A and B are shown apart, each in its own frame.
Chain A
Amino acid sequence: MNGYGGKILRINLTTGQISKEPTPTHIAEKFLGGRGFGIYFLYTEVPRGADPLGPENKIIASPGPLSGTLAPGAGKMDFTTKSPLTGGYASASVGGHLTAELKYAGYDSIIIEGISPKPVYLYINDDEVELRDASDLWGKGSITVETELKKRLGEEFQIATIGPAGENLVKYACITHDFGRQAGRGGVGAVMGAKKLKAIAVHGTRDIPVADPQALLRLGTEAIKACKASEAFEVWVRYGTSGVTVWSNEVGAFPVRNFQAGALEDYSGLSGETMRQRIVITDKGCFGCPSPCGKYSYSKKYSIYVEGPEYETTALIGGDCVLTDIEDVAYANWLCDELGIDSISVGNVIAFAIECFEKGILTKEETEGLELRWGDPQVVFTLLEKIARREGIGDLLAEGVKHASQKLGENSEEFAIHVKGMEMSGYECHNAPAMLLSYMTCDVGAHHNRSWAITYDLQVGRDLVTDDKVDRVIYLQHVRPLFDCLGACRLQWVELSIDLGLYPPILKAITGIDRSWEDLMKISERVWNLTRMYWVREVEGFGREWDYPPPRFYKEPVTYGPTKGKRMEWDDIQRLLDTYYQKRGWDKNGIPTPEKLAELGLAEIVRIGV
């Protein structure tokens, strides 16, 4: 099958059994790959009601048909599982070189099942697949383990690993790869930890079968040249995602003090320019990326090498916790990487804890004498360590803001910033209805990457609550996540504005199958609806209320920044949801109708997978 490795690798950690199956052609046609494969296998193989940290849950790691090829940014891999953080669907993508290496080894998915009786790592060297003892690696940090495994196995091996947070089942633990890339969201690292799987090491030497190699060379080169010719290319490569920081502050989209404010009073210490001047030592690209957003840095203050900080970390650990020195954020970033924690979730968690302390909901007794204050880097560093090791207050905070607020009570649920149990990414949206709707309806919780609609709010008028904003959100929710099915990065389109029309011919050169964007959008809509049905299946009473935003966004106005005094109206939130459901072909409770499921060819899968 052109464009695919050709095999699914199945690992049962309980029994140690390893098997290989041919990649089902009809599934590749219907779901493409990446997170499309992820939700298909999750829905059809993980039984309803499975404990996310129990043996029945599975991790499905999948490249896509563009992964490892000459398509621009062909370095994205998806990890799908049932989320221990939300209890619903989790899909976390990671860049770097893992996805390409897995394709070169001949695999389109690794399905990891069961629980190992002892710590192991998965060794894949083309056909040679083994579970190897990882007892001596257990307890060690992610960067340390990656370094050690490369030393043992060779530089050519690509490593994905968890840190102590994953081992200790921190609900938002991540998987780390390539010295600072993360499959960050939804607690995929905790699922690996529960399975006693410390790492995955992959090396492959095979060709990816391609329908028309000369066309791929020509079309891939053309697309890469389009990236280089983009007006935004130079600035984007210089600053990566940190180029957004100043813009975000200036438009009031920067989360500050647990999303109470939309800008920092003085953000110069966090700007992309400051970062580039003070700490960046090189650009670091994922596989096949002509426009590397990765910035590799060295902090003299802390004597650490770290990838980043990228924007989200700067927003949630910088802005939201009010750390204003890029080197403090860089060190916190390094701790997140080494400990294996999602920096978006943990930034929210720490900001929530500081606000609880400020309001007297958390006391010095509960924090073992630590005074939780805004802008204190030592507070952030200490809490990161405590959370990763579940020490003291860290045990509660390791559960995420939803659970922590439910346990703490005293109205703290009003300022627990999450949707569906997932902490919010770094865009303040009291006054950005399209972006807020993106968070509300995102398929994993309050995550930005499916629909980054805040620029549309700014473009058409951020106060407006209009149907076209709903249209825009749905359009983005189909285009952007499609790249996670294809196994490539969306940022060449988003940030460099290269023509989407460049992709279908590349996909055809690789797979031999002629697909239009309309065909691809239908696949993406299929994936979106199946993920929605996963929530419906797994979460009792799932429906409209699960799409509600945190009360802070409609009850409390912004306290500082250009949007000061603004907040969403409750009626507008309801109106956005009504329109969104109607346009998606869902009922008023946000459940896909039987007609919609039949139209997308999902009726049978949904019927069987119960």
Chain B
Amino acid sequence: MRLSKFLSTTSFFTCLLVSFAFVSCDVLSSGDDNLQPPDTYEFTRDGASSVAYPGQTDRLNMLGEMDAYLGRGDDGQTLSEQVLLDMYTNAGGDGGGNFSFTSDRQLANKTFAPDRDEQLFENLFADAAAASQNGANGVTASDGTAGLLVRENSGNTILVDEKGREFGQLIEKGLMGAVFYNQIFNVYLTDARIGPDVENEDLAEGANYTPKEHHFDEAFGYWGVPVDFQSDWPEDREDEPRFWGHYSDVVDNVRDGMLGTNSTIMDAFIRGRTAIVNKDEAALDEQVDILYEQLELVAAATAVHYINDTLGHLSAGNTGEAFHTLSEAWAFVNALKYSPRRAITVDQIETIQNSRFGQNGNFWKVTADGLNQAKSTLLNVYPDLEPVQDEL
């Protein structure tokens, strides 16, 4: 039902009058087709929030707890393949007893289909568990042998495979791509979920949102940020953005905020959601385009950031630190493949992973030339990174 301008103006003044008495005042009732984008990712209907993404929050928490479990392998304890599988499939609703919470969601069934076909993560769990036996026996990793490497700056160890790749990064960042980005890119931002034909009048059963609104919120939920996230994010709140939100923040403020990904992406989410409320398809498309481009840019920028770090660590003689950051770079390059609109080709991704980061993806064979070529490829494909290539 639509309110006339007169009515809405009247109700606005009425509101203004009573707002001294009531805490909240709902100007923007359903069907108002002229919502202005709010400052934060907060939307209401009839005075109550219309935003919900508990399933995404669950999955972020699952990955967080899997990551903590993988940390035991870094510390030289043994890892159980079964525990990792149970967490991945959320066996019994509590990750086989390994989650601190219960949920009816899981990471496994949201994983990029080709990765599932190849058993990519199941194989990594098996390899990590096997390697952790070496770690528990105090085996130092070397070319061809999985085991532990010391990160020189902290003295902590990491568990790496026979190619020097850190399992924790391959799995954690791997799932950030194969689940979180995959779901944003291939599910929630697609026409099937937020296109013109998706229900945007009637509310979903028992909910305060339309299906279209909710799908968009689920994309936002996978990004992992507080609702008031923005550029030049304060240091005392830097723990709040998680996973992709955290990495946006890592690259946001280079050279006086030249990339500014936090606000660019946040604004696109807010404006996109506003466009859905306003039933403005053109405005929504515009924001979705920005999201595809900028979310991909974050992964590419983070990859360049970690290539730079790797060169620095190698130059300083720190192999453990270097293999940690190169594992990060490897996984962030990998994440680029999940966007159907990717600017980079699968060939380029695989060349970086399997040649530039060492022959056959073996970090022990990585060279300065290879790292610089990988960086050049990324700068060519993502020219926005050119001016900040050395500061990332």
Partners in one complex: no
Q: Which of A's residues lie within 8 Å of B, judged by CB?
A: none
> What residues make up the interface of B, taking CB atoms closer than 8 Å to A?
none
